[in-house]
Structure formats: structure tokens, C-alpha cells
Amino acid sequence: MKPMNKCGRDIRVGVIYERVWHGKDKAMRKKIPAGTTRLGMYIDGFDTSWFKTPFLRHRFEIKSQDQLEKIMESGVAYVYIDTEKGLDVLEEEARKESVELPAKVKVQKLPTIAEEKAYTDYVKAVDDLLQIDKLSLVEATVVDFDLFVKTDMNIVPIALTRNKEGDAVITKELLTATGELMINRADSEKYRDYLRRAAKTDSSAQSQVNKNMLIKENAKLLVHDLFNNPGNPAKMEACKDTVENVITSIMDTKGLITNLFTINKYDFYIYTHSVNVSVFSVATALAMGIQSEGELFAIGMGSLLHDIGMSTIPPEVLHKPFERLTDFEIGLMRGHVYEGLDIVKLYKGITPETLLPLVEHHENLMGTGYPMGLTGDKLHVSGRIISITNTYDTLTTSRPGFKSITPYEALAHLRDHKDLYDADILKEFITVLGKSSQ
């Protein structure tokens, strides 16, 4: 008899684990000019963001003239095809490809040298900084670290106001400044001390909310450390404590996640995203009635580590707008799931169940996700949860080349794709978000 979890789903994790481990079934993915597509081809993606095409799904077989025309009229220069699932490009078209661009195709504007230089400088600068939550700073308190404000790709040091003793103090103006607050990576321990001091002196009725802020900011620092030193056993152990703190906090507040996740995200940082997804996933699991400590922990920990494989990707690729990624770079990005497994498997304290959110966070019910294209019941409950929470957090976060959509729009997007996401789980996730915004 198959081992089942509470929701009646197969939890033979070893099977999935093995399949992922050996990375079988690599598709024959080929980039071709959109103008050379034909009936019978299997589209495996567009060389542009999802929002810039008229298609709800980016993986499908071209079965009608109407679909072909839509591709031509979309303005997308290139598409990806899977030649194992559908027809290949005609030989004569392949020959033409090198000399002639297909009709009706707009040529993508390449960045100028100045733009490229500005972007490279930005990546270098942002990689040395850490995004912190403005709400973690208390007016009139003293700080012993530098602060920076970031708006789009501009990063400016803040001239801190000094008191009579010469200490730098947090002012109202600073807390209401437009943009994102950042600190030097090297100052993360000083920031940790500041948070500890603030939590100790806090005796207000808001203490749980402030405690959540401490848990969240500490979790971000920790995941950031882990990304710079992936697989470090001490950091992994600390992640376990963090996940336990998150679970306890959500249980104590009956599902309230206020301040446990970052709301105003002007840019994408993996550490912020990882903590958000972990908190959303645990809260959703609890709302679904999952009470087993082991199951909750596996969902929380696996979600916290779900993108750890991104640590193997060079920052200039990681921060690059999707539209400008080359074929090779897209392959690198998609490989983060296997890379993540390779990192996490080195740590002995991880159970196979903990790997499920990591393995399945880019899968969906239709089987059009990656790396395995799992369908329906083959997707574990933790995979169903994280496929929702990961997509939501990604869609609501801006990054160079991608303007975020509002929480309402992101939830509408998830609701509109019932074939991809588990509708019952989505309902619970919406309840969780509703509670925290009250």
C-alpha cells in the first residue's frame, strides 16, 4: 500500500528524489525565430516575459492556424521548441535563419555600452549591500552602521543626523524616505545587535509583531549568509531554528503573519524572497489543517532553501532582466533546482520530505513546469503549496526589466490558472494574506 499523508497524497519521496537526482529526460530545447514556427511544433517557451505574449501557457503544441498567427503577431522574435514533443524546424528555414530575420518580427533593442556599464556597476554595488525593513528601525534610536537608500538602480549613502553625543540617530525623515533601505553586508552583525536591543527594550502590546520583525530580519540575514556559504552546517542548523521560530510564531498568533514577511519589495533579493515563501507556505499549510510538526517543518525548511541553487549562478546573470538572458544563461537559471539538491544533500540533517518544496517549486498541476514536468497527483502537497506561494511572491516583486503586479492582480492571475494551481490550497493562501493585511 502506498504511504499517504494527511491529504491522502502519495508521499513516496524516495521515488521523486531519485528521479530528480539523476536528472533524466532532458528535453531537446531549441531556440528558433518565431517566423519559422509551424503546425505540429511543440512550443517550450517564448524569448520574452510571460506578460508580453497573448498566451496563457508557454508550453503547448501548435495545433491551429490561429495559434500560428498569434505567434507571428505577438512581436516576439524567438521561441523555444521541444523537438522531442513536436516537429523540428524545416531544414531550409534553418539555413535561412543565419541570413534573414523572419517577417513581422520586431528586432529586440540591444543595450548601449553606457547602459551595460551602468547595469554592471549596479550589480556590483547591490551585491555588497543588504536590504533591510524600514519598519525594523525605531525613530530616535541610535545606530552604529551606515545606511543607504536605493531607488531603481541608484544607490545613495544617507547622511545620518547626529545627536549631542555624536551618535547617529534614526529620524522620521529617514523612515519616510522614498526607496529601499540598505546596509553594508559587512555590518550585518551590527544590525543584528540593533534588532536584539530593540526587541529587549520593547514592552508594548505590539511585542509579538515586533518579535516577528526580529525573526524575519534575522532569517533574511541568515539566508544571505547561507547563499555566500552554501551548505555550511552551522548556518543550516541556524535555519532549522529559524523555521521553528516561524512555525511557533504563526501557531501562537493563530495564523497571523504580520511582519513575518516583507510587504514593500522594490527589488528582488533571494534572501527576502526565500523568507517570504517559507512564511507563506507554513501559514498556508497550517490553514489547511496540517498539524504534524515534521510535515510543517519540512514545508518551512524546504521553502526557505528552495532557491539555494541560485547561489551557484553568477550575480551578473542572476540580476539580468529575463529578456536579455541568452539560451545558455536560461539553462543555468533553470538548473538551480538540481544545483540546490546537490548543495542540500551534503547536509546530513535534511530529510527527503524537506527536499520536496525545493524540487517541486517550479512544477504545476498541468505538467508544464520543470525540471520533471510532474502532473496532478504526482505533485506532493508541499509542491502544490510552494508552486502558489513562490509564484505569488515572484509576481509581486519588481526587478530590473520586470514591473511587479499588485497582490490583488497576482491572486487573480493564480485564480485564473486553475489548471496549474490547486484551487483549495489557493483559497487557504488567500485567507492567510487577508488576515495579515487587516
Cβ closest to Fe ion, residue 307 vs residue 428: 307
State in angstroms the smallest separation of the CB of 36 from Fe ion.
30
Cβ closest to Fe ion, residue 307 vs residue 360: 307
State in angstroms the smallest separation of the CB of 365 from Fe ion.
18
What does the alpha-carbon distance between residue 214 and residue 91 come to, in Å, rounded to a whole number?
Answer: 60
Site stretch for Fe ion (CB under 5 A), options 93-101, 217-225, 252-260, 306-314: 306-314
What does the alpha-carbon distance between residue 26 and residue 18 come to, in Å, rounded to a whole number?
Answer: 15
Q: What count of residues does the chain have?
A: 438
State in angstroms the smallest separation of the CB of 368 from Fe ion.
15
What would the DSSP string read from start to end of 110-146? Answer: PPPHHHHHHHHHHHHHHHTEEEE-GGGS-TT-EE-S-
State in angstroms the smallest separation of the CB of 289 from Fe ion.
27
State in angstroms the smallest separation of the CB of 259 from Fe ion.
25
Q: Report helix, strand or coil for 244.
A: helix
In this structure, the number of other CB atoms found within 10 A of the CB of residue 438 comes to 6
Q: Please tell me whether residue 307 binds Fe ion under the rule CB under 5 A.
A: yes
Is the sign of the CA dihedral 259, 260, 266, 271 positive or negative?
Answer: positive
What does the alpha-carbon distance between residue 40 and residue 122 come to, in Å, rounded to a whole number?
Answer: 43
What does the alpha-carbon distance between residue 226 and residue 231 come to, in Å, rounded to a whole number?
Answer: 7
Site stretch for Fe ion (CB under 5 A), options 94-102, 201-209, 302-310, 402-410: 302-310
**Binding marks (x or -) toward Fe ion, 46..65, rule CB under 5 A?**
--------------------
- In the bound state, the residue with its beta carbon closest to Fe ion is 307
- The H-or-E segment that residue 2 falls in is none
Cβ closest to Fe ion, residue 131 vs residue 391: 391
Q: Please tell me whether residue 393 binds Fe ion under the rule CB under 5 A.
A: no
The Cα diameter of the chain in Å comes to: 78
Cβ closest to Fe ion, residue 273 vs residue 417: 273
Cβ atoms 303, 357 nearer than 8 A: yes
Q: Please tell me whether residue 360 binds Fe ion under the rule CB under 5 A.
A: no
State in angstroms the smallest separation of the CB of 354 from Fe ion.
16
Site stretch for Fe ion (CB under 5 A), options 120-128, 148-156, 220-228, 299-307: 299-307
How many residues of this chain bind Fe ion (CB under 5 A)? 1
Question: By the criterion CB under 5 A, which residues form the site for Fe ion?
Answer: 307
